[in-house]
Amino acid sequence: MRLDKFLAAAGAGSRKDVRKLIRAHRITVNGSADLKADMHIDENKDKVALDGEPVIYREYSYYMLNKPAGYISASNGTHTVMELIRENDRDLFPCGRLDRDTEGLLLITNDGPLAHDLLSPVKHVDKEYLVKTEKIITEDDLKRFEEGIEIDGGETCLPASGYLKDPKTCILTIREGKYHQVKRMFEATGNRVVFLKRIRMKNLLLDESLQPGEYRRLSEEEEAGLKAGRT
Ligand code: URA
């Protein structure tokens, strides 16, 4: 792979930035700083460093964002979640959609195949939400969710499991991603969602130490957990 491409893909900066680093002799390959941007390196063998610190190549990047309300889950446009991500990795995008007013766990990645698996309607990946509602949630509402509730437009949801935290707060796990699904499920019971936060996707838990708008790279265990069981 070309050195400048490698450095940009590893997050050292844009192609333009990394060429400047190379010219400034801040990059070394196997200890040598006499380099050209278009030279080829073996990303699995050669030892690349920036200011003496190893540059690790990752094919894909994975970040957990605690999405704040007020941002849209899109790559382009204004007020998108991507405005919160200050990384140079190429082609990052939000994996899935949360409504503008929904908060919580959003995976930001450039791993298209993994995103496809996590979002595929046939894979039924768990998504767990903290839901606060206007009116009391009854045991009968939760039973209807468990049986597969019919929402507006005549669509029937897959069984969803929920439990109460207090009379107007529940933890709900759904296994599909219909448009505004949680809100429409509660509407079908005559209730209204007033606060919605995603707290888990598959086995990835929202790191509650992240304030809304903050993000961090996934740990190796978290990344492996998301990839586990892929067919
Ligand atoms: N269900 C909703 O209604 N909104 C979301 O953002 C996510 C799930």
From-to residues of CATH 3.10.290.10 in the chain: 3-54
Token output for 9: 């893909």
User: pTM score, two decimals?
Assistant: 0.86
Task: Please state which CATH class domain 62-121+204-227 belongs to.
Answer: alpha beta
pLDDT of residue 15 exceeding 90, the answer is no
Q: What is the pLDDT of residue 144?
A: 98
Residue 157 has pLDDT above 90, yes or no: yes
CB-count exposure of residue 116 (10 Å: 0-12, 13-18, 19+): exposed
Q: How confident is the model at residue 83 (pLDDT cuts 50, 70, 90)?
A: very high
Query: Catalytic residues, which ones?
Result: 99
Q: Which pLDDT does position 10 carry in this prediction?
A: 83
CATH class of segment(s) 3-54: alpha beta
Test site for ligand 1: of 180, 186, 193, most ligand atoms within 8 A of the Cβ: 180
Q: Is the CB of 160 under 6 A from ligand 1?
A: no
d(CA 218, CA 202): 14
What are the tokens at 87? 């990384």
Residue 34 has pLDDT above 90, yes or no: yes
**Nearest residue to 61 via CA among 16, 27, 98, 12:** 12
Residues of CATH 3.30.70.1560 domain(s) within the chain?
127-201
What was the pLDDT predicted at 229? 86
CB-side neighbour CA atoms (13 Å) of 9: 15
Sequence ranges of the chain with CATH classification 3.30.70.580: 62-121+204-227
Tracing tokens 């998504």 back to the chain, one arrives at: 127
**What is the spatial distance between Cα 138 and Cα 186, in angstroms, rounded to a whole number?**
11
**Mean pLDDT value across residues 17-38:** 96
- Return the CATH number of the domain spanning residue range 127-201: 3.30.70.1560
Return the ligand 1 atom nearest residue 180 CA.
3
Answer for the pair 149, 157: CB distance below 8 angstroms, yes or no.
yes
Q: Ligand 1 centroid to 23 CA: how many Å? A: 48
Q: Is the CB of 151 under 6 A from ligand 1?
A: no
Residue 178 structure tokens: 């219909």
Q: What percent of the chain has pLDDT over 70?
A: 100
3-state SS string for the chain: CEHHHHHHHCCCCCHHHHHHHHHCCCEEECCECCCCCCCECCCCCCCEEECCEECCCCCCCEEEEEECCCCECCCCCCCEHHHHCCCCCCCCEEECCCCCCCEEEEEEECCHHHHHHHHCCCCCCCEEEEEEECCCCCHHHHHHHHHCCEEHHHEECCCCEEEEEECCEEEEEECCCCCCHHHHHHHCCCCCEEEEEEEEECCEECCCCCCCCCEEECCHHHHHHHHCCCC
